[in-house]
């Protein structure tokens, strides 16, 4: 008797099973070869959401932000060795300048949870 141990979830994915010739031993177990076709589930992990800068303020203060960025980028030392470090310095400079001068957008609720109409219905 051949028996395959597979979880109930994967039973339909077993396509073909064959037995192998075993050694001459006194046992009722046989070696099996199974062909299994499964698709693994793609796990979607949520990325950490970045806070967004206020674009309206950025466009209004465009010239001032551009001037401060040019000053800060000119002050960064140019290292010819590592491009990774240079990119990190430029990125920090830009993000710090924008967050200091412009600010970030606050999240607004899509709908107020309890409105005046709901409160009046509850009073009734």
Question: Tens digits of per-residue pLDDT, 87-112?
Answer: 888 888 888 888 888 887 777 777 77
Answer whether residue 121 is part of any domain. no
Q: What is the pLDDT of residues 29-55, one digit of tens each?
A: 777 888 989 888 888 887 766 667 888
Answer whether residue 4 is part of any domain. yes
Q: Is the pTM of this model over 0.75?
A: no
Which of 79, 58, 78 is closest to 69 using CA atoms? 58
Please tell me what DSSP assigns to residue 53.
Answer: B
Task: Show the domain range for 11.
Answer: 1-36
Answer whether residue 109 is part of any domain. no
Answer whether residue 61 is part of any domain. yes
Residue ranges of alpha helices (H) inside 9-110 are 55-60, 62-75, 83-101
pLDDT attached to residue 50: 67
Token output for 77:
């030392």
């Amino acid at each position: 008797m051949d028996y395959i141990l597979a979880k109930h979830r994967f039973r339909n994915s077993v396509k073909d099973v064959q037995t192998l010739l075993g050694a001459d031993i006194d046992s009722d177990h046989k070696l099996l070869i199974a062909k299994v076709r499964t698709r693994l589930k793609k796990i979607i992990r949520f990325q950490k959401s970045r806070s967004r800068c206020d674009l309206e303020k950025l466009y209004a203060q465009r010239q001032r932000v551009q001037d401060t960025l040019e000053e800060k980028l000119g002050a960064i030392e140019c290292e010819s060795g590592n491009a990774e470090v240079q990119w990190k310095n430029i990125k920090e400079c830009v993000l710090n300048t924008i967050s200091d001068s412009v600010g970030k957008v606050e999240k607004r609720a899509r709908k107020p949870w309890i409105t005046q109409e709901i409160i009046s219905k509850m009073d009734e």
